[in-house]
Structure 1
Amino acid sequence: MKGNKPRIKLYIACSLDGFIARENGSIDWLTEYEKNPGTDYGYSEFYSSIGTVLMGRKTYEQVLGFGDWPYGEKKAYVFTRQEELLRREKNVEFISGDIGEFARQLKENTEEDIWLVGGSQLIKVFLEEDLVQDLIVFFVPVILGSGIPLFDQIQKEIGLKLINTERYESGLVRVEYEIEIHITK
Protein backbone atom coordinates (compact mmCIF):
# COMPACT_ATOMS: atom_id res chain seq x y z
CA MET A 1 0.00 0.00 0.00
CA LYS A 2 1.35 3.42 -0.86
CA GLY A 3 1.93 6.04 1.84
CA ASN A 4 -1.06 8.22 1.06
CA LYS A 5 -4.61 7.00 1.36
CA PRO A 6 -6.62 7.11 -1.84
CA ARG A 7 -8.83 10.15 -2.34
CA ILE A 8 -12.31 10.37 -3.79
CA LYS A 9 -12.36 13.12 -6.39
CA LEU A 10 -15.34 14.73 -8.05
CA TYR A 11 -14.23 15.64 -11.60
CA ILE A 12 -17.10 17.23 -13.50
CA ALA A 13 -18.22 20.04 -15.81
CA CYS A 14 -21.11 22.39 -15.17
CA SER A 15 -22.67 25.47 -16.70
CA LEU A 16 -21.84 28.85 -15.21
CA ASP A 17 -25.19 28.73 -13.40
CA GLY A 18 -24.36 25.36 -11.81
CA PHE A 19 -26.10 22.72 -13.94
CA ILE A 20 -24.48 19.45 -15.03
CA ALA A 21 -27.21 18.60 -17.56
CA ARG A 22 -30.41 19.91 -19.04
CA GLU A 23 -33.74 18.97 -17.40
CA ASN A 24 -33.96 15.94 -19.72
CA GLY A 25 -30.39 14.83 -18.86
CA SER A 26 -28.85 16.05 -22.12
CA ILE A 27 -25.28 17.35 -22.08
CA ASP A 28 -25.34 18.49 -25.72
CA TRP A 29 -24.02 21.90 -24.63
CA LEU A 30 -20.66 20.24 -23.81
CA THR A 31 -19.96 18.73 -27.23
CA GLU A 32 -18.06 21.69 -28.66
CA TYR A 33 -15.52 21.37 -25.82
CA GLU A 34 -15.04 17.58 -26.01
CA LYS A 35 -13.08 17.49 -29.24
CA ASN A 36 -10.82 20.48 -28.77
CA PRO A 37 -7.62 19.64 -30.69
CA GLY A 38 -5.60 22.01 -28.50
CA THR A 39 -6.23 20.37 -25.14
CA ASP A 40 -7.96 17.56 -23.31
CA TYR A 41 -8.30 19.90 -20.29
CA GLY A 42 -6.03 17.66 -18.20
CA TYR A 43 -8.33 14.65 -18.61
CA SER A 44 -5.59 12.17 -19.65
CA GLU A 45 -3.45 13.01 -16.64
CA PHE A 46 -6.44 12.84 -14.30
CA TYR A 47 -7.70 9.56 -15.79
CA SER A 48 -4.30 7.88 -15.42
CA SER A 49 -4.24 8.86 -11.73
CA ILE A 50 -7.43 6.99 -10.80
CA GLY A 51 -8.14 3.29 -10.47
CA THR A 52 -11.88 3.25 -9.94
CA VAL A 53 -14.90 5.13 -11.23
CA LEU A 54 -18.17 5.59 -9.35
CA MET A 55 -21.45 6.74 -10.85
CA GLY A 56 -25.19 6.61 -10.49
CA ARG A 57 -27.47 4.58 -12.74
CA LYS A 58 -28.68 7.55 -14.81
CA THR A 59 -25.10 8.62 -15.49
CA TYR A 60 -24.22 5.03 -16.41
CA GLU A 61 -27.11 4.83 -18.87
CA GLN A 62 -26.10 8.16 -20.38
CA VAL A 63 -22.48 7.03 -20.82
CA LEU A 64 -23.71 3.83 -22.51
CA GLY A 65 -25.53 6.04 -25.02
CA PHE A 66 -22.22 7.58 -26.15
CA GLY A 67 -21.10 4.34 -27.81
CA ASP A 68 -18.07 2.39 -26.58
CA TRP A 69 -17.68 2.07 -22.80
CA PRO A 70 -14.85 4.55 -22.03
CA TYR A 71 -13.78 3.06 -18.67
CA GLY A 72 -13.03 -0.53 -19.73
CA GLU A 73 -9.66 -0.81 -18.01
CA LYS A 74 -10.89 0.75 -14.75
CA LYS A 75 -13.07 -0.90 -12.14
CA ALA A 76 -16.49 0.78 -12.22
CA TYR A 77 -19.24 0.71 -9.62
CA VAL A 78 -22.74 1.85 -10.52
CA PHE A 79 -25.10 2.74 -7.67
CA THR A 80 -28.69 1.83 -8.40
CA ARG A 81 -31.99 1.19 -6.65
CA GLN A 82 -33.50 -0.29 -9.80
CA GLU A 83 -34.44 -3.95 -9.88
CA GLU A 84 -34.30 -4.37 -13.65
CA LEU A 85 -31.16 -5.73 -15.21
CA LEU A 86 -28.91 -3.15 -16.80
CA ARG A 87 -26.47 -3.88 -19.60
CA ARG A 88 -23.21 -4.80 -17.91
CA GLU A 89 -19.99 -3.50 -19.40
CA LYS A 90 -16.46 -4.78 -18.75
CA ASN A 91 -15.35 -4.32 -15.10
CA VAL A 92 -18.75 -2.90 -14.03
CA GLU A 93 -20.44 -3.94 -10.80
CA PHE A 94 -23.86 -2.73 -9.64
CA ILE A 95 -24.22 -1.63 -6.01
CA SER A 96 -27.58 -1.26 -4.29
CA GLY A 97 -26.57 -1.26 -0.63
CA ASP A 98 -25.44 1.51 1.70
CA ILE A 99 -23.44 4.00 -0.40
CA GLY A 100 -21.40 5.41 2.49
CA GLU A 101 -20.43 2.02 3.87
CA PHE A 102 -19.45 0.79 0.40
CA ALA A 103 -17.34 3.89 -0.34
CA ARG A 104 -15.51 3.71 3.00
CA GLN A 105 -14.71 0.01 2.42
CA LEU A 106 -13.55 0.77 -1.12
CA LYS A 107 -11.16 3.49 0.11
CA GLU A 108 -9.70 1.08 2.67
CA ASN A 109 -9.13 -1.63 0.07
CA THR A 110 -7.69 0.26 -2.88
CA GLU A 111 -4.44 2.07 -3.55
CA GLU A 112 -5.40 4.45 -6.35
CA ASP A 113 -7.62 7.52 -6.25
CA ILE A 114 -11.32 7.17 -7.02
CA TRP A 115 -13.32 9.25 -9.51
CA LEU A 116 -16.84 10.24 -8.53
CA VAL A 117 -18.26 10.77 -12.03
CA GLY A 118 -21.80 11.77 -11.04
CA GLY A 119 -24.72 12.37 -11.08
CA SER A 120 -26.32 14.91 -8.86
CA GLN A 121 -28.06 12.56 -6.41
CA LEU A 122 -24.89 10.52 -5.86
CA ILE A 123 -22.76 13.65 -5.44
CA LYS A 124 -25.18 14.83 -2.74
CA VAL A 125 -24.84 11.57 -0.77
CA PHE A 126 -21.04 11.57 -1.06
CA LEU A 127 -20.77 15.17 0.14
CA GLU A 128 -23.25 14.74 2.98
CA GLU A 129 -21.37 11.67 4.21
CA ASP A 130 -17.94 13.38 4.01
CA LEU A 131 -16.69 10.96 1.38
CA VAL A 132 -15.22 13.44 -1.14
CA GLN A 133 -11.80 14.99 -0.61
CA ASP A 134 -11.29 16.90 -3.87
CA LEU A 135 -13.52 18.85 -6.26
CA ILE A 136 -12.29 19.50 -9.81
CA VAL A 137 -15.00 21.51 -11.51
CA PHE A 138 -14.94 22.84 -15.06
CA PHE A 139 -17.13 25.89 -15.51
CA VAL A 140 -18.40 26.03 -19.08
CA PRO A 141 -19.17 29.49 -20.49
CA VAL A 142 -22.89 28.94 -20.92
CA ILE A 143 -25.93 29.77 -18.79
CA LEU A 144 -28.57 27.06 -19.13
CA GLY A 145 -31.23 28.69 -16.98
CA SER A 146 -32.47 25.34 -15.67
CA GLY A 147 -31.42 21.73 -15.49
CA ILE A 148 -29.94 19.17 -13.13
CA PRO A 149 -27.91 21.02 -10.50
CA LEU A 150 -24.36 20.08 -9.60
CA PHE A 151 -25.13 20.51 -5.90
CA ASP A 152 -28.75 19.68 -5.16
CA GLN A 153 -29.85 20.88 -1.70
CA ILE A 154 -26.93 19.46 0.22
CA GLN A 155 -27.87 19.51 3.89
CA LYS A 156 -24.57 20.88 5.22
CA GLU A 157 -22.10 23.65 4.74
CA ILE A 158 -18.74 22.56 3.34
CA GLY A 159 -15.60 24.70 3.51
CA LEU A 160 -13.24 24.55 0.54
CA LYS A 161 -9.57 25.39 0.06
CA LEU A 162 -8.64 26.62 -3.42
CA ILE A 163 -5.81 24.49 -4.84
CA ASN A 164 -5.60 25.62 -8.46
CA THR A 165 -7.37 27.42 -11.29
CA GLU A 166 -6.74 27.20 -14.99
CA ARG A 167 -8.29 29.18 -17.82
CA TYR A 168 -8.52 27.77 -21.34
CA GLU A 169 -8.79 29.62 -24.65
CA SER A 170 -12.24 28.09 -25.14
CA GLY A 171 -13.48 30.12 -22.16
CA LEU A 172 -13.71 27.05 -19.94
CA VAL A 173 -12.29 27.46 -16.43
CA ARG A 174 -10.99 24.59 -14.30
CA VAL A 175 -11.20 25.14 -10.53
CA GLU A 176 -9.72 22.67 -8.04
CA TYR A 177 -10.69 22.62 -4.39
CA GLU A 178 -9.79 20.47 -1.45
CA ILE A 179 -12.54 19.95 1.10
CA GLU A 180 -11.42 21.55 4.33
CA ILE A 181 -14.28 21.42 6.78
CA HIS A 182 -17.78 20.10 7.04
CA ILE A 183 -20.22 22.15 9.09
CA THR A 184 -23.57 20.51 9.74
CA LYS A 185 -26.46 22.96 9.45
Structure 2
Amino acid sequence: MTKIQYYVASTLDGFIADEHDDLSWLLQFGMADFSESYDRFFADVGALVLGATTYEWVLREGAGWPYGSLATWVFTHRELQVPEGADIRFVSGPVAPVADAAVAAAGERNVWVVGGGPVAAQFLEAGRLDELLVTYMPVALGRGRPLFPVAAVTPPLRLAGVTTMGDAVEHVYRIG
Protein backbone atom coordinates (compact mmCIF):
# COMPACT_ATOMS: atom_id res chain seq x y z
CA MET A 1 0.00 0.00 0.00
CA THR A 2 1.29 3.44 -0.93
CA LYS A 3 2.35 5.63 1.99
CA ILE A 4 2.82 9.39 2.10
CA GLN A 5 6.04 9.97 4.01
CA TYR A 6 7.80 13.05 5.34
CA TYR A 7 11.49 12.05 5.21
CA VAL A 8 13.74 14.75 6.58
CA ALA A 9 16.84 15.56 8.62
CA SER A 10 16.46 17.68 11.75
CA THR A 11 18.67 19.24 14.36
CA LEU A 12 18.27 17.99 17.92
CA ASP A 13 16.20 21.08 18.65
CA GLY A 14 13.78 20.47 15.78
CA PHE A 15 14.96 22.63 12.88
CA ILE A 16 15.26 21.48 9.25
CA ALA A 17 17.09 24.61 8.03
CA ASP A 18 18.52 27.73 9.58
CA GLU A 19 16.63 31.03 9.44
CA HIS A 20 18.13 31.72 5.96
CA ASP A 21 17.11 28.30 4.57
CA ASP A 22 20.74 27.20 4.71
CA LEU A 23 21.63 23.53 5.26
CA SER A 24 25.35 23.83 5.98
CA TRP A 25 24.63 22.50 9.49
CA LEU A 26 23.54 19.24 7.79
CA LEU A 27 25.99 19.15 4.88
CA GLN A 28 28.97 19.34 7.25
CA PHE A 29 28.29 15.66 8.10
CA GLY A 30 28.65 14.45 4.50
CA MET A 31 26.63 11.54 3.16
CA ALA A 32 28.84 8.53 3.91
CA ASP A 33 26.87 7.40 6.98
CA PHE A 34 23.51 8.06 5.36
CA SER A 35 23.75 6.91 1.75
CA GLU A 36 22.61 3.33 2.42
CA SER A 37 19.53 4.49 4.35
CA TYR A 38 18.71 7.15 1.73
CA ASP A 39 19.15 4.73 -1.19
CA ARG A 40 16.87 2.19 0.49
CA PHE A 41 14.24 4.87 1.17
CA PHE A 42 14.45 6.43 -2.30
CA ALA A 43 14.12 3.06 -4.07
CA ASP A 44 10.53 2.97 -2.78
CA VAL A 45 9.64 6.53 -3.89
CA GLY A 46 7.28 6.88 -6.84
CA ALA A 47 6.28 10.56 -6.56
CA LEU A 48 7.41 13.73 -4.78
CA VAL A 49 5.82 16.79 -3.18
CA LEU A 50 7.82 19.92 -2.35
CA GLY A 51 7.28 23.50 -1.31
CA ALA A 52 8.71 26.25 -3.49
CA THR A 53 11.52 27.09 -1.04
CA THR A 54 12.76 23.49 -1.03
CA TYR A 55 12.38 23.23 -4.81
CA GLU A 56 14.39 26.40 -5.39
CA TRP A 57 17.07 25.22 -2.93
CA VAL A 58 17.44 21.92 -4.80
CA LEU A 59 17.76 23.75 -8.13
CA ARG A 60 20.22 26.30 -6.73
CA GLU A 61 22.43 23.99 -4.65
CA GLY A 62 22.27 20.71 -6.54
CA ALA A 63 24.15 19.49 -9.56
CA GLY A 64 21.05 19.16 -11.72
CA TRP A 65 17.64 17.73 -10.87
CA PRO A 66 18.34 14.70 -8.62
CA TYR A 67 14.93 13.01 -8.98
CA GLY A 68 14.94 12.11 -12.68
CA SER A 69 11.49 11.91 -14.23
CA LEU A 70 9.55 11.12 -11.03
CA ALA A 71 6.21 12.90 -10.98
CA THR A 72 6.70 15.97 -8.76
CA TRP A 73 4.23 18.48 -7.36
CA VAL A 74 5.54 21.86 -6.18
CA PHE A 75 3.32 24.09 -4.03
CA THR A 76 3.82 27.67 -5.19
CA HIS A 77 2.00 30.78 -6.35
CA ARG A 78 4.79 31.72 -8.78
CA GLU A 79 6.14 30.57 -12.12
CA LEU A 80 9.38 28.66 -11.61
CA GLN A 81 11.83 27.09 -14.01
CA VAL A 82 11.59 23.39 -14.84
CA PRO A 83 14.77 21.35 -15.29
CA GLU A 84 15.01 19.45 -18.55
CA GLY A 85 13.61 15.92 -18.25
CA ALA A 86 11.80 16.65 -14.98
CA ASP A 87 8.06 15.99 -14.58
CA ILE A 88 7.05 19.03 -12.51
CA ARG A 89 3.50 20.22 -11.77
CA PHE A 90 3.07 23.57 -10.03
CA VAL A 91 0.07 23.67 -7.70
CA SER A 92 -1.58 25.73 -5.00
CA GLY A 93 -4.57 25.22 -2.77
CA PRO A 94 -5.65 22.24 -0.66
CA VAL A 95 -3.32 19.26 -0.39
CA ALA A 96 -5.99 16.53 -0.68
CA PRO A 97 -6.26 16.55 -4.50
CA VAL A 98 -2.47 16.72 -4.79
CA ALA A 99 -2.12 13.80 -2.37
CA ASP A 100 -4.60 11.77 -4.43
CA ALA A 101 -2.79 12.55 -7.69
CA ALA A 102 0.63 11.80 -6.19
CA VAL A 103 -0.56 8.46 -4.76
CA ALA A 104 -1.99 7.53 -8.17
CA ALA A 105 1.27 8.49 -9.90
CA ALA A 106 3.38 6.58 -7.35
CA GLY A 107 1.71 3.30 -8.22
CA GLU A 108 2.90 0.66 -5.77
CA ARG A 109 5.62 2.93 -4.41
CA ASN A 110 5.46 5.76 -1.87
CA VAL A 111 5.05 9.53 -1.99
CA TRP A 112 7.86 11.57 -0.44
CA VAL A 113 6.94 14.93 1.04
CA VAL A 114 10.44 16.35 0.62
CA GLY A 115 9.71 19.59 2.41
CA GLY A 116 9.49 21.93 3.86
CA GLY A 117 7.80 22.04 7.20
CA PRO A 118 4.75 24.06 6.07
CA VAL A 119 3.94 21.59 3.28
CA ALA A 120 4.39 18.61 5.60
CA ALA A 121 2.18 20.35 8.19
CA GLN A 122 -0.55 20.83 5.60
CA PHE A 123 -0.44 17.12 4.73
CA LEU A 124 -0.54 16.28 8.44
CA GLU A 125 -3.49 18.60 9.12
CA ALA A 126 -5.37 17.13 6.13
CA GLY A 127 -4.86 13.62 7.53
CA ARG A 128 -2.76 12.69 4.49
CA LEU A 129 0.62 11.97 6.12
CA ASP A 130 1.22 8.31 7.00
CA GLU A 131 4.81 8.27 8.26
CA LEU A 132 7.38 10.65 9.62
CA LEU A 133 11.01 9.60 9.09
CA VAL A 134 13.34 12.00 10.91
CA THR A 135 17.09 11.68 11.05
CA TYR A 136 18.21 13.65 14.10
CA MET A 137 21.65 15.14 13.62
CA PRO A 138 23.99 15.80 16.56
CA VAL A 139 23.77 19.58 16.38
CA ALA A 140 21.46 22.34 17.68
CA LEU A 141 20.75 25.66 15.97
CA GLY A 142 18.59 27.49 18.50
CA ARG A 143 16.42 28.93 15.72
CA GLY A 144 15.49 28.31 12.13
CA ARG A 145 12.82 26.55 10.06
CA PRO A 146 10.97 24.05 12.28
CA LEU A 147 10.25 20.43 11.47
CA PHE A 148 6.58 21.43 11.65
CA PRO A 149 5.38 25.01 12.09
CA VAL A 150 4.13 25.85 15.58
CA ALA A 151 0.50 25.65 14.37
CA ALA A 152 0.87 21.97 13.47
CA VAL A 153 -0.17 19.57 16.21
CA THR A 154 0.46 15.88 15.64
CA PRO A 155 -1.71 13.11 16.96
CA PRO A 156 0.16 10.65 19.15
CA LEU A 157 2.83 9.01 17.01
CA ARG A 158 3.79 5.32 17.12
CA LEU A 159 7.48 4.57 16.97
CA ALA A 160 8.00 2.01 14.19
CA GLY A 161 11.78 1.91 14.02
CA VAL A 162 15.08 3.40 15.14
CA THR A 163 18.33 3.23 13.17
CA THR A 164 21.69 4.67 14.14
CA MET A 165 23.89 6.08 11.40
CA GLY A 166 27.21 7.21 12.78
CA ASP A 167 26.34 9.89 15.33
CA ALA A 168 22.83 10.43 13.90
CA VAL A 169 19.63 8.57 14.75
CA GLU A 170 16.67 7.97 12.42
CA HIS A 171 13.25 7.63 14.01
CA VAL A 172 10.36 6.25 11.98
CA TYR A 173 6.93 7.18 13.32
CA ARG A 174 3.55 6.00 12.09
CA ILE A 175 0.84 8.63 12.21
CA GLY A 176 -2.67 7.81 13.32
TM-score by shorter chain over 0.5: yes
Distance 1:41 1:101, change over 3 A: same
Distance change >3 Å, CA 172–CA 46, structure 1 → 2: same
User: Residue 43 of structure 1: which of 25, 38, 47 is its match?
Assistant: 38
Deviation at 1:101, TM superposition (A): 2.4
Are 1:88 and 2:85 counterparts? no
Q: How many angstroms does 1:108 deviate by?
A: 4.6
Structure 1 segments unaligned to the other structure (5+ residues): 181-185
Which shifted more, 55-64 or 109-118? 109-118
Cα offset, 1:29, TM superposition: 0.8
Alignment partner of 2:158 out of 161, 165, 179: 161
> Is 2:117 the counterpart of 1:123?
no
Letter in 2 for 1:46: F
Identical aligned residues as a percent: 32
Q: Does the 8 Å CA contact 2:47/2:102 hold for their aligned counterparts?
A: no
Query: Whole-Å Cα distance in 2 between the matches of residues 51 and 70 of structure 1?
Result: 14
Q: CA-to-partner distance for each residue in 1:119-159, whole Å, 9 max, x for gaps?
A: 01111111111110011100000010100001112344411
Please report the TM-score for the alignment, with normalisation by the length of structure 2: 0.91
Paired residue type of 2:160: I
- Kindly name which structure, 1 or 2, has the bigger radius of gyration based on alpha carbons: 1
Q: Partner of 1:183 in structure 2? A: none
| Cα distance in 1 for residues equivalent to 2:173 and 2:23 | 24
CA distance in 2, matches of 1:113, 1:35: 22
Cα gap change, 1:105 to 1:156, in 2 (>3 Å): same
| Partner deviation per Cα, 1:55-89 (whole Å, 9 max, x = no partner) | 0000000000123110113111111122xx21112
Q: 1:59 aligns with which of 38, 54, 57?
A: 54
Q: How does the TM-score come out when normalised to structure 1?
A: 0.86
Secondary structure at the aligned position of 2:134 is classed as: strand
- Which aligned runs of 4 or more in structure 1 are off by greater than 3 angstroms? 154-157
How many aligned residue pairs are there? 172
Q: Secondary structure of 1:33's partner?
A: coil
Ranges in structure 2 where 5+ consecutive residues have no aligned partner: none
